[in-house]
Amino acid sequence: MSNIQQNTACSGENSAGQLEVAIIGAGFAGMYMLYCMRKLGLSARIYEAGSGVGGTWYWNRYPGARCDVESIQYSYQFSEELQQEWEWTEKYSPQPDILRYANHVADRFDLRRDIQCNTRVMSAVFNEDSHRWDIQTETGDRISAAFCVMATGCLSSSNTPAFKGIRDYKGNIYHTGKWPHDEVSFNDMTVGVIGTGSSAIQAIPVFASQADHLFVFQRTPNYTVPAHNAALDPEYVRDIKSDYAGLRARAKTKPSGYDLPIPPLSAVETSPEDRFQTFESKWQNGGVGFMAAFNDLLVDAAANETAAEFVRKKIRETVDDPKIAKLLSPDNVIGCKRLCVDTNYWETFNLPNVTLVDVSRTPIEKISQNGLCTNGQEYPLDAIVFATGFDAMTGALLNIDIRGRGGQTLQTKWEGGPKTYLGLAMADFPNLFTITGPGSPSVLTNMLPSIEQHVEWITDCISHMHANGLECIEANREAENEWVEHVNQVADLSLRSTCSSWYIGANIEGKARVFMPYIGGFPKYVEKCNNVVANDYEGFILN
Ligand code: NAP
C-alpha cells in the first residue's frame, strides 16, 4: 500500500468560470473521468455534494456495509501500478476499506485539486447560443462547460417513504444510504428497522448485536445467500497480481463483467441429487455466484424454482421457529430482485432480542411520537432505521434540473421512463454524457469495469471531436428509440423483469414501470459501443 498521506477532504477551492468538462459526482466514475480528462489536457472539475470522495461508499457507511462483489475485481484496472500496490485484505471488503481505497486513488493521482466538495449541482442548462452547459450549484457557483458528465451514481438518491407523523417522532431516524459520519451506538436501545433488502440484511445482524431489542419491519422477504467472507490468502493475491490482466480479460468476456465461471448445465436437465450437490457447493462457496450454479436459472421458471426452494429449505433448517421461517421465506423468483448476500442473517432471527414484524398485509400506518404503528399496534422505539432503498438509476439525475434543447426538461423527456442511447447520451441533450446511465448494463454488472468502459468511451469521443474540430455530439432520436426498444425486448427474455423491483422503478410511487438497466450483458454491450464508433459514431449527430 502506498504511504501517500490520506487526505479525506477535497482541496479544490471554489472557482466559477469556464471549463472544458464539468463532472458531477466524485465517486469511482467521476474520479476516473477527471483523470482521463486531465490526460487529454482538458480543463475539468468535479462538483460533489458530499464532503469527500467515494460516492456510494461515502454515503453508505451503515454498520455491516460491505461490497458483495469480490474486491479483487471490484476495483480499478486502468493503472497497473495501482493494482499492484493496493492490498485488499478481505474477499468482500467492508465499506471503510473501499472508502480508504477511493481516497487513496484521489491522492495517488493528485485529483483533489480539481474536486470541489460540499457543492450540490442544482441545474444544468444547455445554452443554444454558446453550445455550452450553464451549470449552477447550491453554493452559488456558475459554471460554463463545453461538456457535462453526469457521474451521479445509480443508487445515490435515497428513498424515504413519506409515512405520516415522521416529523413528530422524538427519537433519531437514520437512512442506511445517508448514514452519519459520527459513530452511532444502539447499545441499550429498542430499535426498529424498516426494510429487508441488501442494506438491511447486512445491517440487521450488527444492530441485533448492539440493541437491547430489534424490531424488523418486513414487507417482502428477500432471498439471501451467505457471503462466507474471509481474509484473503496472500498467496492467492500474489497469483492474481502475477496476471491481473488475465483476470480482467476473462471478466470482460462474462455477461456480468465479473470473472465467474459460466455453467454449461441446465438445472431442469440435471438430476435432483446432482442439482442439490451443485447448489450446495455454490452455497458453501458463498456470494452471488450462487445464481451461476446453472445456465437457466434466470430464464426458466421451473429451473428458478429449484434454486428458490433450495434457499427456502436452508431458511427452514436455520430458523428455529417454523412460523418465523415461513415469514422469512420468499415465494417469488430468486434473482428477480437483486440477490442479497449476508453474514448470519437468518440466524439473527433465533436471537431472543429480535422480533420480525410482518407489514405485508397491514402496512406501516404512521410514525408516532414514540415509535411506529402498524396493525393497530404501536411499537415504542428509541431509534428507527430506514433501509428503504433508492430512487434507482434516474433519481439522482432527475434531482438536478437538467434542460436540453428548446428548454426541454429531463423530467419531461423521461415522463414515461428513461430514454437514452446506450445509457450514455440523449437526443436533445448535446454534449451531456451519463456514466452507467439507464439503458446501460451498470447495476447488472460489476460496476467498476462498467464505469471504466463508459469513461474510456466518452474520453475517446471527446478526443475524436477535438481532433476533428467538432463542437457538438448528440444522440439521434431514431437511434435512441431503437435502443430503448432493444433494452425492453431483451429485458422481457429474462425472469428478472417479472417482479416488482427497483430495476423497474416499482419501489417508487408514481415512477414509470420500465426495466431500466440493459440486460444483454457486458460483452454484447461493449461490442455495440465499439461498433458505433467504428461506424463513425453511428446513431449520433456530430457537428
Ligand atoms: P432495497 O433493495 O430497495 O430494499 C428496500 C427495502 O425497504 C425493501 O425490503 C422494501 O420492501 C422496504 N420498503 C420500502 N418502502 C417500504 C414501506 N413503505 N414499508 C415497508 N417496507 C418498505 O434497498 P437496499 O437494501 O438499500 O438495496 C438497494 C440496492 O443497493 C441493492 O439491491 C444492491 O444493488 C445495492 N446494495 C449493494 C450492497 C452490496 O454490495 N453489498 C449492499 C447494499 C445495497 P419491498 O421489497 O416490499 O419493496
Asked whether residue 166 is domain-assigned, the answer is yes
Query: How remote is the CA of residue 288 from the centroid of ligand 1, in Å?
Result: 16
Regarding whether 403 and 515 lie in a shared domain, the answer is yes
| pLDDT higher than threshold 90 for residue 531 | yes
Q: What digits encode the pLDDT tens for the residues 197-226?
A: 999 999 999 999 999 999 999 999 999 999
Asked whether residue 364 is domain-assigned, the answer is yes
Pocket of ligand 1 (CB under 6 A): 66-68, 155, 161, 176, 194-200, 202, 219-220, 338, 341, 359, 364, 387-390, 443, 502, 507
Question: What is the value of pTM for the model shown?
Answer: 0.96
Q: What digits encode the pLDDT tens for the residues 387-405?
A: 999 999 999 999 999 999 9
Regarding whether 409 and 501 lie in a shared domain, the answer is yes
Instruction: State the residue for C-alpha cell 418465523.
Output: 324
Asked whether residue 264 is domain-assigned, the answer is no
Average pLDDT over residues 68-75: 96
**Nearest CA residue ID for atom 48, ligand 1:** 507
**Residue where one domain finishes, among candidates 389, 407, 422:** 389
Q: From 60, 366, 358, select the one nearest 196 (Cα to Cα).
A: 358
**Nearest CA residue ID for atom 12, ligand 1:** 195
Q: How many domains does the chain have?
A: 2
**Residue where one domain finishes, among candidates 348, 371, 389:** 389
Query: How remote is the CA of residue 501 from the centroid of ligand 1, in Å?
Result: 9
Asked whether residue 444 is domain-assigned, the answer is yes
Average pLDDT over residues 233-260: 97
Regarding whether 478 and 449 lie in a shared domain, the answer is yes
Sheet arrangement for strand 172-175: 172-175, 383-386, 190-194, 213-218, 354-358
Residue 14: predicted pLDDT: 55
Query: How remote is the CA of residue 372 from the centroid of ligand 1, in Å?
Result: 19
Query: How remote is the CA of residue 238 from the centroid of ligand 1, in Å?
Result: 36
Residue 6: predicted pLDDT: 43
Ligand 1 nearest-atom number relative to CA 201: 25
**Nearest CA residue ID for atom 2, ligand 1:** 197
Query: How remote is the CA of residue 223 from the centroid of ligand 1, in Å?
Result: 12
| pLDDT higher than threshold 80 for residue 11 | no
Q: What digits encode the pLDDT tens for the residues 356-397?
A: 999 999 999 999 999 999 999 999 999 999 999 999 999 999
Residue range(s) defining the domain that contains residue 350: 158-222+337-389
Q: From 177, 29, 45, 39, select the one nearest 462 (Cα to Cα).
A: 39
Asked whether residue 218 is domain-assigned, the answer is yes
What is the chain's mean pLDDT, rounded?
96
Regarding whether 97 and 207 lie in a shared domain, the answer is no
Cβ neighbour number for residue 205 with a 10 Å cutoff: 21
**Nearest CA residue ID for atom 33, ligand 1:** 198
| pLDDT higher than threshold 90 for residue 261 | no
Asked whether residue 245 is domain-assigned, the answer is no
Regarding whether 488 and 419 lie in a shared domain, the answer is yes
Query: How remote is the CA of residue 345 from the centroid of ligand 1, in Å?
Result: 15
Regarding whether 175 and 122 lie in a shared domain, the answer is no
| Cα–Cα distance for residue pair 229/250, rounded to 1 Å | 23
Which string of DSSP letters, residue by residue, matches 158-226? Answer: B-----BTGGG--SEEEEGGG--SS----BT-EEEEE--SHHHHHHHHHHHHHBSEEEEEESS---EEE
Ligand 1 nearest-atom number relative to CA 66: 41
Regarding whether 344 and 196 lie in a shared domain, the answer is yes
Residue 7: predicted pLDDT: 47
Residue 10: predicted pLDDT: 67
Regarding whether 410 and 522 lie in a shared domain, the answer is yes
**Nearest CA residue ID for atom 17, ligand 1:** 161
The percentage of residues in the chain with a pLDDT greater than 90, rounded to a whole number, is 96
Regarding whether 352 and 476 lie in a shared domain, the answer is no
Q: What digits encode the pLDDT tens for the residues 493-502?
A: 999 999 999 9
Asked whether residue 230 is domain-assigned, the answer is no
| pLDDT higher than threshold 70 for residue 99 | yes
Q: From 36, 17, 15, select the one nearest 457 (Cα to Cα).
A: 36
pLDDT tier at 1, thresholds 50, 70, 90: very low
**Residue where one domain finishes, among candidates 374, 389, 404:** 389
Q: What is the CATH number of the domain that holds 363?
A: 3.50.50.60
Regarding whether 342 and 433 lie in a shared domain, the answer is no
| pLDDT higher than threshold 70 for residue 3 | no
Q: What is the dihedral of CA 135, 141, 146, 149, to 10 degrees?
A: -60
Average pLDDT over residues 157-179: 97
pLDDT tier at 268, thresholds 50, 70, 90: very high
Regarding whether 441 and 429 lie in a shared domain, the answer is yes
Asked whether residue 136 is domain-assigned, the answer is yes
Average pLDDT over residues 183-205: 97
- The answer for residues whose C-beta is within 8 angstroms of residue 86's C-beta and 6 or more apart is 1, 2, 75, 101, 104
**DSSP letter assigned to residue 128:** T
**Nearest CA residue ID for atom 10, ligand 1:** 195
Regarding whether 402 and 374 lie in a shared domain, the answer is no
Query: How remote is the CA of residue 82 from the centroid of ligand 1, in Å?
Result: 33
